[in-house]
Amino acid sequence: QVQVIQSGADVKKPGASVRVSCKVSGHTLTELSMHWVRQAPGKGLEWMGGFDPEEGEAIYAQNFQGRVTMVVDTSTDTAYMELTSLRSEDTAIYYCATDSVEVPATMFYWGQGTLVTVSS
Amino acid sequence: QSALTQPASVSGSPGQSITISCTATSSDVDDYTYFSWYQQHPGKTPKLLIYNVNDRPSGVSSRFSASKSGDTASLTISGLQAEDEADYYCSSYTRTSTVVFGGGTKLTVL
């Protein structure tokens, strides 16, 4: 069974950057794509992007192009998402989720979420 | 505005069946490749309910089913239970290799 454990909550000032990590166990990130989804308070789910191990690169949603970087360390099966130039609207719970080998682009296994608060 | 449109809310009484629609408003998602539904209880992590349009992961109740007709996909919950009260999201892979979510539907069990 795949388990995904995320890093803890973080508080950042406007303009700063945040990095969230996700450690996978029970499978390897050499085969699974890691997606990142965020949810602002009281709002819906928003896909930010995902790292495709076959392509060896990330694909980002247009809304985050230029501000987000997603990487994977396959030696530790840990994925990282960095979001820069933070503003108050980036206050949200950030989730990572993996797909399955058979069904890509589908979020089977979710992390517990990481609350990122952007406040001066 | 999302490329997938869902009703903001639906409601039903225990034992009834309800259907949540998800309509593609962009040609990027009109072939419903890797289409899925997620359930999210308040304060909880989203959970995969349906994938590949109408397949259920192990452990998901058979009361949840889904279908597709034309440019609209639907999630049906039969034998509604109080525990089904949650937010439901549809999602699809797109032709630009991205993923989109619908805006979400809040289900109230009366």
Nearest to B34 among A62, A105, A110 (CB): A105
Per mean pLDDT, which range of A109-113, B2-6, B57-61, B106-110 is the poorest?
B2-6
Instruction: Summarize pLDDT for A5-44 with one digit per residue, the tens.
Output: 999 999 999 999 999 999 999 999 988 999 999 999 999 9
Per mean pLDDT, which range of A100-104, A114-118, B36-40, B102-106 is the poorest?
A100-104
A104 pLDDT tier (thresholds 50, 70, 90): confident
- Which of B48, B58, B89 has the highest number of chain A CBs within 10 A, making it the mutation to test binding with A? B48
Provide the pLDDT for residue B1.
65
Q: Using alpha carbons, select from A119, A63, A60, A81 the residue that is nearest to residue A4.
A: A81
The more confident residue out of B68 and A41 is A41
Q: Which letter does DSSP use for residue B51 in this model?
A: B
Mean pLDDT of chain B: 92
Phi/psi of residue B42, nearest 5 degrees:
-55, 130
Strand ranges (E), chain A: 3-6, 10-12, 18-25, 34-39, 46-52, 57-60, 68-73, 78-83, 92-98, 109-110, 114-118
Contact status of A59 with chain B (Cβ, < 8 Å): yes
* B12, B18 Cβ separation under 8 angstroms: yes
Q: Closest approach of chain A CAs to the CA of B17, in angstroms?
A: 24
Taking the C-alpha atoms of residue B99 and residue A65, their distance in angstroms, rounded to an integer, is: 14
Q: Tokens at residue A6, please? A: 């995320």
The more confident residue out of B105 and B33 is B105
Q: Closest approach of chain B CAs to the CA of A5, in angstroms?
A: 12
Burial B70-106 (b: 16+ CB within 10 A, else e): eeebbbebeebeeebbbbbbbbbbbeeebbbbbbbbb
Taking the C-alpha atoms of residue A27 and residue A30, their distance in angstroms, rounded to an integer, is: 9
Instruction: Summarize pLDDT for B48-66 with one digit per residue, the tens.
Output: 999 998 999 999 999 999 9
Report A:17-36 residues touching B (Cβ under 8 A). 35
Contact status of B98 with chain A (Cβ, < 8 Å): yes
B98–A44 C-beta distance less than 8 A: no
A110–B89 C-beta distance less than 8 A: no
Average pLDDT over residues A52-56: 87
Contact status of B28 with chain A (Cβ, < 8 Å): no
B69 pLDDT tier (thresholds 50, 70, 90): confident
Provide the pLDDT for residue B71.
85
